[in-house]
Amino acid sequence: MARPKKDETLKKDAKGIKFDDAQAYADSIGISVEDIDKFFSIATKYDVLTDNDKKIIAEQAKFYLLKEKEDATVVKKKDTHKISANDVVYSEEGYREAKMELYILKTWKQGKCEEQIGIARSYGDLSENAEYDAAKEEQTKTARKIMEIEEQLKHAVITDNEVVVIKFDGEDEEETYEICGTTEANPEENKISNQSPLAKALAGKKAGDIVEYEAPSGTIRVQIIRKEK
């Protein structure tokens, strides 16, 4: 059975958001534009960035990168097929981004939550203060996300993502998929979790093999064209 057609309108730039002013902050702070851009892109998942936010994040990025060089955490690499159920799989890039995200949440985002709570308190009666309730809820969500990432990093294992070129039954066009951990999976970018039915079907197989896996639409059959690291 051929797999269902994808909605091509869902495709996005795999490099993420690009900020025109990232270069200016990079020049003023003295770190790479790629690092500044990455910090900004991660932060936009949690709030719209004002110019003041960008300034704070850029300054904090500098301290983070200096600290990272001093006490970098070494995580043992494992072969993708020897991952235990408790492991949280990251690529080297994904692991670094998770640590950057945690840092942003514990510095800039928590600080912004406290600032919003303070502003809301100044409006008076907290029993009928919608702004205060919203600010407290955002603070709770931020704390919950921090705990989630910290727990994931405790069980982090770095592996090299595997790239697989396959052809779906009934189709002529080849497709390329990157098999990664659940934290980095993004179907819109053809990044699939190593726990997904397709990735499990491909595990341990070689070029030329034909495999099947179960999808909501039924049994899908694919041929492996080649595997890459």
Same domain assignment for residues 182 and 154: no
Structural domain for 219, as ranges: 162-228
Among 99, 130, 158, give the residue marking a domain's end: 158
Same domain assignment for residues 49 and 35: yes
Average pLDDT score over residue span 112-123: 90
Q: Considering only CA atoms, which of 206, 207, 175 is closest in space to residue 191?
A: 175
Which CATH number is 174's domain given?
A: 3.10.50.30
Same domain assignment for residues 199 and 146: no
Same domain assignment for residues 99 and 55: no
Burial 180-210, CB ≥16 within 10 A → b, else e: bbebbbeeebebbbbebebbebbeeeeeeee
Instruction: Identify the band that residue 5 occupies on the pLDDT scale cut at 50, 70 and 90.
Output: low
Question: Domain total for the chain?
Answer: 3
pTM score, whole prediction: 0.77
**Residue 8's pLDDT is what?**
44
pLDDT tens sequence across 62-77:
888 877 654 445 556 6
Check residues 11 and 172 and name the one with the higher pLDDT: 172
